[in-house]
Each structure stands twice: as C-alpha cells, then as structure tokens.
C-alpha cells in the first residue's frame, strides 16, 4: 500500500520483542510497515534466565524469537545496527550504519544499562557487568585465569551473578553498600537470614562497604579499597549495583526525562511527543522505573492498544516477588518495610532451619499490607491473595506464618531404593541426584523438578519422584506436605472419604465445603476421578465440565500435534475378521496411522478433534465400544490363547480374560489398570507384570497382584492360589475398590502396595479374612459400578449437548491449519516444524 505508515521500534530486548509479538497478533500490524532496530548481534533473548547460560544453555536456547517470525509478519529487522539519533521535526531515525528511516509512530524500548559506580579504577581489566550474552562470554573468558571474583551489589541481580561466579568455580564475594542484602525487598532480620544461608553456600558477604578505589592487586589482578580502610583482593569484579534507564536518545531529541533519568510517559505510555512511546526499563511512569519484565510487557500491550485507539491504560504494577536465590527462597509482598503509618508486624524466626517470616498488617489488624519470607516461602500465594484482594485476615494473623502439624510417617518404598536407581528415564536422573538436590536446599517437589529436570519430560515418574522427595524430606526432618495442591489441604485418600461421607456429587460442592480458590489442573482431574469412581456418572455431564484432562474430556488420547488417537475395546484381544476389516476401513477412510498396541488392541492415530464423533459413529455401528485408553481405568486384559487351542493350556484364559475385561471396563481408578490371564505356568500373557495377573493351574486360578512393567518394573506378588472363578472375582472386586479408596493421586498399584503400612500381609487380611469388616461394602460398590456401566462414546453420540464440544473452532468449520502430515513407511505422521514451514511457504497447507 502506497499510503502505509511506518512504525519503528528501537530496541529488540524482551519488552521490544513482546511488543512485536502483541502487534503481530493484532490488526494494527496491517496498518503499518514495521521496522525494528537491534544493536546486539542477535535478536531478543531471555535475560531473566541468563544464568542458565552457565548451565549449558546456548544463545539459541535463550532466544525469544520463533523461527521465521520477522519474515512471516513482514517486519524489517536491522540487526547489529544502533539508532543514534532521532529528528522529531522530519520524523527520521539515523542509525550507526548511516541509515535514515522515516517513522510515523516510534516506540522506544531501549531498556537499561548496568550502573557502574564512578570510582577510580572501575574500568580496569576484568571489571565487567552482567547483562548481555557478550557480557557472559567475557565473564567465562576472564574466569579461565581467575581464582577470586567479587560481585558489587547484593540485590536480586547481584545474587544471581554471584551464583554464576560460583558456578564458574571462583571463590566468590558479594560487596554491598547497604547494611543488608536485598535492601529494597527485605528488612534487617530477613536480610540477615539470607546472608547466613548464602554464606553457608561458601559465598563471603560484606555489607556496609563503600568502594573508594580499585587498584593493582598483589596476589590478584585487582584490589578493591573501601572507605573504612579495609581492602579485598580479587581477579574479577562484576558490577551489579542497579540499573539505569537508556534514555540518551530521548534526551538528545528533547523528550522530557526524569530528574534521575527515565523517559517520562503517561498512562498510555506516550512520551512528551504524542507520536513517540516508551516502554520497559527506559520508561518513567509516575516517578517509577520498573526493573521487572512483567510491567514492561503490560506497557507493550498498552501501546498496541493505543495504536488501535483503544484505551488499555498502564496503571502501575505490583512489585511483589518470589524467587529462589542460590537455592534460597525469598519473597517480598507489598509494604514489606512497614512504612504505612500505624502498621503492625508479626514475625516468626527459626534460627535452626534459618527461616524468617514477617507480616505487615493494617493498624486495625484486619488487612495484610505486606510480607517478607526468607528460607521458606510456601505461603506466598496465600499471602499475596490476602494482600492484593483485600481479604479480611483471621483473628490471629500470625497463624498464617506459624509452622503447622508434625511430619507424617515415612514411606517405605522410596527408602528402599538405592541411590543409583534411575527415577526419570527421560532426563536420566537418579535417586542420588534427587537427594543431593534436596540437600542443596530444593525443598519442594516443584523445585526438585526444576533443579534436576526429573519428571519434566513424559511425567511417567511423577508419583515415584514424589514418594522419593517426601521420604527424603521426612528423613531430613522437614515437614512433608501431603496436601493434594494449594486448593485442598487433604490427601486424595482423605478427599475420597469426604466425598463418600458427605455424599458430595460435584467438584464445586467439595471445593465449597473443604477447599479454597478455584481449583487447578492437579485437583480438578483428581476430584473428577474420585467422583467417577464413587458415583460412576458419565464424565462429560455438564456439572463435570472443565474438570478432566484433555484425554478424558474428548474421550481420546492427545498427541504431540494436538490430534488424537482412538483405541476401541477388543476384550481379551479376541477379534473377528469382520471387525478387523472395519478398523482397517476406518483407518483408510480417515487416513489414520495404525499400530498394534502392547495390550493386544489397535490404535488409530491422527484424528482431528472434529473427526472423533464421525469416526466413533462408524465404530459403534460396527459393534465396537470405547476402550478407555484415555482414562485412569481398566485398559486391557491381555491373554494367551489358552486351553482351547494350545497343547499346554490347562484352562480357558481367553474366556476368563473377556469376562474380567467386561466386568471392570467402566471402573475409574487412581491410575490405569492392566490385567492379564495366562492359560498355564508358561505365562505367555506376562501376567506377573500386571496390576492383576491370573495364571491357570491344575488346581484352579492363581492370583498375582500389584505387578508393573513400564519404567520401574515390579514383579507381582502371589496373593492367593487354587481359586475357583467366583472366589477369584470376589477377591479382585474387594482389592480394586480398596485400592480406589486408599491410593494417592496417580499412584499405580505397585507403588500403592509398597507404601501400604503392613504390606501384603495386611492386604491379604483385609481382602481374604475381612479384617476390617468392609468386604460387603467393597463388593457392593463394585456392583454399583458394573450395573451403571455405559459406553462413554455411545452415550456421547446420543447427546447433542456433549457433542458440541467436539469442534476445533466455535465460529468456523475449517480444520486446524497447523495440523499437517507427511508420509513415512506408507502411513501418515505429524510433519516436523521445518517441514511445516516449507508447506506454509509453498502454500500446500
């Protein structure tokens, strides 16, 4: 378009890039030709996680720009070229490389630079700052010959930088001008605890130190001289004494700047020139420079809105923070320094475990104004909620920070594992590594996951990891939190009990009575599962909407590209040729990738959400039922061919497998269940690796329980021998319901039994001798599940309301254009990202 205007953005840091991403998602992109300058040799990257560079991340890993972003959105990027002047009269930007670019609207996202105190010698060799990837490369280079490193500045970034120096193997010091660490966020006591913790990690901390000069050292490259007459020898000095806005461009073109720097902006992020905006750390709003990324992102959104004549004013940002500095939890909320007139304070200090917590409360003792947490910050979410939402405090506010109940008993299963045992196979993490992470101060499951990467791949080891972490924490004397999540201070077992005793039928009812907040992706599926186990209602009933994971919600298994796979039930693995042909025809018609599963059934991959009902219509018409491959429920009962055909078989294993599969197929359980039946002790069905395994003998059926294949195989335990079929089924009924009632969230039967107090002998007494007097109740509950069974797909197809959710777009029948397949070995598979880009460029989609 000849009349298209030009929008220029100076600076491609985190905030500049977020602005471009927001712009690209808005219609405003089409109104402008967009140009951006980046003075660095690479486009935007993640500065918040800069220290991960030392943990092996590359510059590419830290990049915030999706491949092809600038090309795809027609944005011109001037890389490695700095804007050096702006002429507001002619509306022209001049760059270091001599380009002259006209603009109609200009956004300054020039960020900040590290403040270096102007002491003599600050520019000596090995005096560095910590902001860009180039800075890090200089640090690595300097560290090669250095033994001692000093960080000047004990704030948030300074302590990050100190971690980087210790990671580089230097003897590390932190020198702070203020009398305590993190002076902005913490009070004296909090700062003191943090100091002790950090000194415990081998870092020397020097507070109230004013550097007067840096000169030649004797034992090291440099010597820092302090105003109090003391001195410190060091090879490397890293300045991290705060940031200063990059406002030189704004100054030179006459925009209004603050007395102490920063480009003055209004609520629309406009500078004193209405055609020029400033966002991020270069901008001064209401006398404040925001040195965090979130407020910068909010400013970016404000400008994108303003370009479309929409008012989404920037009205400041909450500066509460929670972070982990060198493995130490630190959090600061609101008025942490109790500056509000009349404010009351409550504090809790534990010198032993070095935990400090302080609440700042309004004069009338009813509202939370601020808080400081050091050493342990699990209350952060709750306290932030009190503070931001003005919720009235309990009568004794100190209860919010005082320690709670003593620890629960240690689980045996996890303790029994040797240190060399591999817990997470995706990232090859051993039990020993998890234990040393805990010893290094990572004290919650989430932190251990973040520190070790365990359970962040496929997630298959999450239950095992949790039991190891819990056991290890309990061993070290820490309180083990067995709460399901922040919304329910109960275990899964306790919640099941509450549902049963209170006869509660919905998540909302349980939340209202026993929980807080709105729930999350941990508690919602767990509670939905409990309700389904107990009441056995269809999981897609409107009262249960939004509770289930994607697999249960769409009665299919989500795959990496957002398509689904379909597994019809084939009880016992027995299937007529005509049924096989139907599966083949459906696979062919919908171009699905077809594979035989380990459980003797057939998996059809690559179905789009909106195709699922059509596909199931055909399958059900042919006589198939849903296979519950998506649910925490019975998957398959695998069988060998048994005495009907086999020379060695002693009983009809296929017949029993089909009967068992049809009996338990509707049961929702804490995790998936796999069964097998073998027709003789040759064990071709591998029943001793299943949750429930049955093996035929001359004397009747032998029952094995709580076996597992998968990532941590467990040989099943022999539970009972020589059973007739009725007794066998009775035992399985009781055992399964007892498991459903007492297991933890996502706990397989193998881990459940390993953690069950009293173990196998106790379980035998409950199931075979009725030691708890529960047998009738357990059997009755199983009868209820069996009697109320319905094929979830059949019921869904008969209900237009439930079907409505099976569409990709609410306002279009187009398919998802990002779902693309290529052919491999004669079948479709999801296209790789580079293959997708190729398709998009040649327009094949």
Partner 1 sequence: MATWQAICDVTELLPNTGLCALLDGQQVAVFYVPDPELGEVCARQVYAISNFDPFGQANVLSRGICGDIDAQLVVASPLYKQHFNLRTGVCLENEAVALPVYAVRISQNKVELAGGVGL
Nearest distance from residue 324's CB to partner 1, in Å? 13
Alpha-carbon gap, residue 342 to 378, rounded angstroms: 27
Footprint of partner 1 on 707-746 (CB under 8 A): none
Single out the residue of 518, 576, 647, 825 in contact with partner 1 (rule: CB under 8 A): 518
Single out the residue of 519, 568, 572, 631 in contact with partner 1 (rule: CB under 8 A): 519
Nearest distance from residue 556's CB to partner 1, in Å? 11
Stretch that binds partner 1, among 189-197, 261-269, 571-579, 814-822 (CB under 8 A): 814-822
Question: Is the CB of 31 or the CB of 659 nearer to partner 1?
Answer: 31
How far CA 302 is from CA of 19, 37, 309, 421, in Å, comes to: 9, 21, 10, 52
Question: Is the CB of 663 or the CB of 668 nearer to partner 1?
Answer: 668
Nearest distance from residue 598's CB to partner 1, in Å? 23
Question: Is the CB of 4 or the CB of 219 nearer to partner 1?
Answer: 4
Alpha-carbon gap, residue 478 to 406, rounded angstroms: 9
Report the candidate in 662, 655, 699 with the shortest Cα–Cα distance to residue 677.
655
Question: Is the CB of 259 or the CB of 810 nearer to partner 1?
Answer: 810
Rg over alpha carbons for the chain, rounded to the nearest Å, is 32
List Cβ neighbours of 675 (8 Å cut-off, separation of 6 or more). Answer: 634, 636, 637, 638, 657, 660, 661, 664, 687, 690, 691, 692, 693, 694
Alpha-carbon gap, residue 821 to 835, rounded angstroms: 9
Alpha-carbon gap, residue 205 to 177, rounded angstroms: 11
635 within 8 A of 627, measured Cβ to Cβ: yes
Is residue 229 part of the contact set for partner 1 (CB under 8 A)?
A: no
Question: Is the CB of 335 or the CB of 549 nearer to partner 1?
Answer: 549
List Cβ neighbours of 604 (8 Å cut-off, separation of 6 or more). Answer: 565, 566, 567, 583, 586, 587, 590, 592, 593, 594, 615
Is residue 486 part of the contact set for partner 1 (CB under 8 A)?
A: yes
Per DSSP, the chain holds a count of helices (H) and strands (E) of: 28, 38
Footprint of partner 1 on 63-122 (CB under 8 A): 64, 66
Stretch that binds partner 1, among 351-359, 437-445, 755-763, 815-823 (CB under 8 A): 815-823
Is residue 841 part of the contact set for partner 1 (CB under 8 A)?
A: no
Is residue 48 part of the contact set for partner 1 (CB under 8 A)?
A: yes
Single out the residue of 252, 645, 809, 845 in contact with partner 1 (rule: CB under 8 A): 809
Footprint of partner 1 on 605-644 (CB under 8 A): 609
Nearest distance from residue 609's CB to partner 1, in Å? 8
Nearest distance from residue 835's CB to partner 1, in Å? 12
Binding residue count for partner 1, defined by CB under 8 A? 73
Stretch that binds partner 1, among 229-237, 425-433, 780-788, 809-817 (CB under 8 A): 809-817
Alpha-carbon gap, residue 450 to 452, rounded angstroms: 6
Stretch that binds partner 1, among 80-88, 380-388, 489-497, 634-642 (CB under 8 A): 380-388
Footprint of partner 1 on 15-44 (CB under 8 A): 18, 21-29
Question: Is the CB of 71 or the CB of 585 nearer to partner 1?
Answer: 71
Nearest distance from residue 808's CB to partner 1, in Å? 6
The pairing of strands 283-285 and 344-350 is: unpaired
Single out the residue of 179, 390, 459, 502 in contact with partner 1 (rule: CB under 8 A): 459
Nearest distance from residue 796's CB to partner 1, in Å? 15
Is residue 503 part of the contact set for partner 1 (CB under 8 A)?
A: no
Site string for partner 1, 387-426 (x = CB under 8 A): -xx-------------------------------------
Single out the residue of 120, 254, 390, 833 in contact with partner 1 (rule: CB under 8 A): 833
Question: Is the CB of 612 or the CB of 766 nearer to partner 1?
Answer: 612
The pairing of strands 634-639 and 283-285 is: unpaired
Single out the residue of 217, 460, 517, 709 in contact with partner 1 (rule: CB under 8 A): 517
How wide is the angle at C-alpha 836 spanned by C-alphas 835 and 840, nearest 5°? 120
Report the candidate in 299, 363, 365, 289 with the shortest Cα–Cα distance to residue 115.
289
Nearest distance from residue 134's CB to partner 1, in Å? 19
Cα 566 off chain centre by: 27
Is residue 542 part of the contact set for partner 1 (CB under 8 A)?
A: yes
Helix axes 725-742, 775-787, angle to 10 degrees: 90
Q: Give per-residue burial for 715-726: e unless 16+ CB within 10 Å, then b.
A: ebbebbeebeee
Footprint of partner 1 on 269-308 (CB under 8 A): 293-294, 297-298, 301-302, 304-305, 308
Structure tokens at 233: 């020898």
Question: Is the CB of 90 or the CB of 814 nearer to partner 1?
Answer: 814
Nearest distance from residue 800's CB to partner 1, in Å? 13
Nearest distance from residue 474's CB to partner 1, in Å? 25
How wide is the angle at C-alpha 197 spanned by C-alphas 455 and 154, nearest 5°? 100
Alpha-carbon gap, residue 419 to 427, rounded angstroms: 16
Footprint of partner 1 on 303-362 (CB under 8 A): 304-305, 308-310, 312, 322
Nearest distance from residue 635's CB to partner 1, in Å? 20
List Cβ neighbours of 679 (8 Å cut-off, separation of 6 or more). Answer: 639, 640, 641, 642, 643, 646, 648, 649, 650, 651, 652, 653, 654, 685, 696
Footprint of partner 1 on 553-592 (CB under 8 A): 553-554, 558, 560-562
Site string for partner 1, 740-769 (x = CB under 8 A): ------------------------------
Single out the residue of 395, 577, 814, 843 in contact with partner 1 (rule: CB under 8 A): 814
Helix axes 725-742, 653-664, angle to 10 degrees: 40
Structure tokens at 598: 């380990």
Cα 579 off chain centre by: 42
Residue keyed to tokens 């709750």: 382
Site string for partner 1, 779-808 (x = CB under 8 A): -------------------------xx--x
Question: Is the CB of 23 or the CB of 695 nearer to partner 1?
Answer: 23
Nearest distance from residue 642's CB to partner 1, in Å? 40
Q: What are the two backbone dihedrals, phi and then psi, of residue 667, each rounded to the nearest 5 degrees?
A: -75, 125
How far CA 684 is from CA of 181, 570, 575, 638, 690, in Å, comes to: 66, 18, 19, 10, 13
Report the candidate in 726, 727, 676, 725 with the shortest Cα–Cα distance to residue 704.
676
Is residue 379 part of the contact set for partner 1 (CB under 8 A)?
A: no
């Amino acid at each position: 378009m000849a009349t298209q205007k030009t929008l220029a953005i100076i600076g491609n840091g985190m905030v500049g890039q977020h602005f471009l991403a927001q712009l690209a998602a808005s219609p405003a992109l089409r109104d402008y030709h967009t140009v951006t300058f980046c003075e660095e040799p690479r486009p935007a990257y993640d500065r918040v996680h800069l220290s991960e560079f030392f943990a092996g991340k590359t510059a590419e890993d830290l990049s915030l720009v999706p491949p092809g972003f600038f090309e795809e959105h027609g944005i011109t990027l001037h890389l490695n070229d700095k804007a050096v002047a702006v002429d507001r009269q002619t509306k022209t930007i001049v760059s270091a490389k001599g380009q002259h670019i006209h603009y109609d609207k200009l956004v300054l996202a020039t960020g900040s630079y590290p403040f270096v105190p102007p002491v003599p010698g600050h520019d000596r060799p090995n005096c560095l700052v910590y902001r860009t990837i180039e800075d890090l490369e200089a640090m690595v280079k300097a560290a090669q010959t250095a033994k001692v490193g000093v960080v000047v500045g004990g704030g948030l970034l300074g302590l990050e930088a100190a971690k980087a120096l210790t990671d580089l193997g230097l003897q590390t010091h932190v020198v702070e001008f203020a009398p305590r660490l993190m002076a902005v966020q913490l009070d004296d006591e909090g700062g003191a605890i943090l100091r002790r913790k950090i000194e415990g990690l081998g870092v020397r901390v020097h507070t109230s130190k004013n550097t007067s000069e840096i000169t030649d050292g004797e034992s090291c490259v440099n010597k820092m001289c302090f105003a109090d007459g003391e001195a410190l020898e060091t090879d490397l000095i890293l300045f991290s004494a705060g940031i200063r806005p990059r406002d030189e461009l704004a100054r030179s073109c006459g925009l209004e700047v603050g007395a102490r720097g920063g480009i003055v902006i209004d609520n629309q992020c406009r500078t004193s020139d209405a055609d020029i905006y400033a966002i991020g750390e270069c901008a001064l709003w209401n006398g404040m420079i925001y040195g965090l990324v979130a407020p910068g992102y909010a400013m970016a959104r404000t400008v994108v809105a303003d370009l479309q004549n929409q008012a989404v004013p920037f009205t400041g940002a909450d500066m509460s923070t929670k972070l982990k500095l060198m493995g130490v939890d630190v959090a600061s909320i609101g008025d942490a320094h109790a500056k509000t007139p009349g404010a009351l304070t409550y504090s809790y200090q534990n010198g032993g475990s070095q935990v400090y917590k302080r609440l700042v409360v309004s004069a009338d003792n009813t509202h939370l104004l601020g808080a400081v947490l050091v050493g342990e910050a699990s209350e952060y979410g709750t306290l932030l909620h009190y503070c931001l939402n003005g919720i009235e405090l309990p009568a004794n506010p100190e209860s919010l920070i005082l320690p709670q109940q003593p620890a629960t008993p240690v689980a045996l299963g996890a303790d029994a594992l040797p240190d060399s045992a591999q817990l997470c196979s995706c990232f090859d993490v051993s039990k020993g590594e998890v234990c040393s992470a805990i010893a290094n101060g990572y004290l919650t499951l989430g932190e251990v996951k973040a520190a070790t990467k365990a359970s962040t791949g496929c997630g298959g080891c999450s239950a095992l990891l949790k039991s190891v972490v819990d056991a290890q924490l309990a061993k070290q004397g820490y309180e083990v939190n067995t709460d399901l999540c922040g919304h329910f201070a109960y275990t899964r077992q306790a919640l099941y009990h509450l549902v049963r005793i209170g006869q509660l039928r919905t998540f909302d009812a349980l939340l209202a009575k026993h929980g807080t907040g709105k729930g999350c992706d941990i508690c919602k599926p767990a509670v939905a599962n409990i309700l389904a186990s107990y009441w056995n209602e269809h999981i897609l009933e409107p009262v249960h909407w939004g509770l289930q994971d994607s697999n249960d919600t769409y009665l299919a298994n989500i795959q990496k590209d957002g398509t689904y796979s379909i597994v019809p039930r084939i009880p016992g693995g027995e299937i007529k040729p005509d049924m096989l042909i139907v599966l083949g025809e459906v696979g062919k018609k919908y171009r699905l990738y077809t594979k035989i599963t380990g459980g003797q059934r057939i998996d059809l991959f690559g179905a789009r959400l909106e195709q699922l009902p059509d596909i199931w219509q055909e399958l059900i018409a042919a006589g198939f039922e849903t296979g519950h491959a998506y649910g925490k429920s019975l998957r398959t009962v695998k069988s060998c061919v048994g005495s009907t055909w086999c020379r060695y078989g002693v009983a009809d294993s296929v017949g029993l497998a089909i009967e068992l599969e049809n009996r338990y197929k509707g049961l929702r359980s804490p995790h998936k269940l796999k069964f097998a039946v073998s027709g003789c002790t040759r064990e071709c069905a591998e029943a001793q690796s299943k949750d429930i395994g049955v093996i035929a003998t001359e004397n009747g059926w032998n029952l094995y329980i709580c076996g597992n294949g998968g990532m941590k195989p467990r040989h099943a335990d022999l539970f009972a021998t020589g059973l007739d079929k009725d007794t066998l089924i009775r035992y399985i009924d009781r055992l399964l319901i007892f498991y459903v009632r007492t297991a933890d969230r996502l706990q397989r039967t193998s881990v459940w039994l390993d953690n069950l107090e009293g173990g196998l002998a106790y379980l035998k007494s409950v199931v075979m001798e009725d030691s708890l007097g529960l047998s009738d109740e357990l059997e009755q509950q199983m009868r209820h599940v069996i009697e109320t069974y319905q094929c979830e797909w059949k019921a869904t197809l008969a209900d237009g309301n439930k079907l409505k959710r099976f569409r990709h777009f609410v306002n279009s029948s187009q398919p998802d254009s990002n779902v693309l397949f290529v052919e491999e070995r004669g079948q479709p598979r999801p296209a790789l990202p580079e293959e997708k880009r190729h398709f998009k460029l040649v327009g094949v989609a």
